[in-house]
């Protein structure tokens, strides 16, 4: 049966497979920030119609992974230094609120155990870049989820696409050092001991390092691209 003749269920299945494939391509860095999505090539590779492919692109645009340039062309989103700083400002505030609530809870030891278990895979030396990203993000998502505050958790989840894009743009050589098991242990320890002040200081330092590194990298990329265009 051809894609053109596929029924609603079959078309939905094809669309979901396309979405998953494209998301993997972006997260893995196969499609780089700023790169245009080549619809003809992709539709041939995936064996789907251009219409089905376009249906798959829309959710990725809504997630913030793709940008519609208004002329029918999509490109992988590339965050500016200002956008990166803004995302980290909001992310830091949300995570400090979440971690403080956990540290002040009588169940803080239970929460600390769950968080430490979540990042256990970060100890694996051969863990792939994509898996490391998802494990790291999973820790921070769980940090917010454990508060039981749905609005807080959803607000954090709305930032995940932008955070992924920052990490992907930085690349494994720059990003992996900040996604190690040991980097997260001070946060877990502060929650376990119920030290709200230590929680705030630890997360502020952790996120501050990330912000400086990613904003600096974004400035360097922008400067390099400007120089390349000028030469």
* Rounded alpha-carbon distances, angstroms, from residue 223 to 86, 196, 216, 218: 20, 40, 11, 9
Residue that terminates a domain, selected from 41, 76, 111? 76
pLDDT tens by residue, the chain, 231 residues: 344 444 444 556 888 989 988 988 887 778 888 899 999 998 898 889 999 899 999 999 987 889 999 887 999 988 888 988 999 999 999 999 999 999 999 999 999 999 999 999 999 988 888 888 899 999 999 999 999 999 999 999 999 888 888 888 777 877 777 788 998 999 999 999 999 999 999 999 988 887 888 788 777 766 655 545 554
Q: Is 1 domain-assigned?
A: no
Q: Is 21 domain-assigned?
A: yes
Q: Do 184 and 222 fall within a single domain? A: yes
Q: Do 113 and 210 fall within a single domain? A: yes
Q: Is 181 domain-assigned?
A: yes
Choose among 106, 128, 124, 103: nearest CA to 115.
Answer: 103
Number of domains in the chain: 2
Residue that terminates a domain, selected from 76, 93, 115? 76
Give the CATH number, domain containing residue 199. Answer: 1.20.120.530
Q: Please answer whether residues 130 and 27 qualify as being in contact, where contact means their C-beta atoms are separated by less than 8 angstroms.
A: yes
Residue that terminates a domain, selected from 39, 57, 76? 76
Rg of the chain, C-alpha, whole Å:
20
Q: Is 202 domain-assigned?
A: yes
Return the ∠ at Cα 149 (arms to 148 and 151), rounded to 5°: 145
């Amino acid at each position: 049966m051809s894609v053109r003749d596929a029924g609603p269920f079959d078309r939905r299945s094809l669309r979901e497979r396309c979405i998953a494939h494209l998301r993997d391509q972006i997260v893995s860095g196969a499609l780089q920030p700023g790169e245009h999505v080549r619809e003809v090539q992709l539709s041939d590779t995936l064996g789907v119609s251009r219409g089905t492919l376009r249906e798959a692109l829309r959710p990725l645009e809504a997630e913030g992974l793709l940008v519609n340039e208004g002329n029918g062309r999509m490109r992988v989103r590339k965050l500016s230094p200002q956008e990166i700083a803004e995302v980290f400002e909001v992310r830091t505030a949300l995570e400090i609120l979440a971690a403080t609530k956990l540290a002040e809870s009588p169940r803080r030891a239970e929460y600390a155990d769950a968080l430490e278990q979540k990042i256990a895979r970060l100890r694996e030396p051969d863990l792939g870049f994509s898996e490391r990203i998802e494990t790291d993000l999973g820790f921070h998502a769980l940090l917010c989820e454990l508060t039981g505050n749905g609005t807080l958790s959803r607000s954090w989840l709305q930032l995940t696409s932008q955070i992924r894009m920052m990490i992907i743009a930085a690349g494994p050589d720059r990003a992996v050092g900040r996604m190690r098991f040991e980097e997260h242990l001070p946060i877990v320890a502060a929650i376990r001991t119920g030290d709200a002040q230590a929680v705030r200081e630890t997360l502020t330092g952790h996120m501050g390092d990330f912000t400086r590194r990613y904003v600096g990298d974004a400035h360097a990329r922008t400067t390099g691209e400007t120089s390349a265009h000028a030469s």
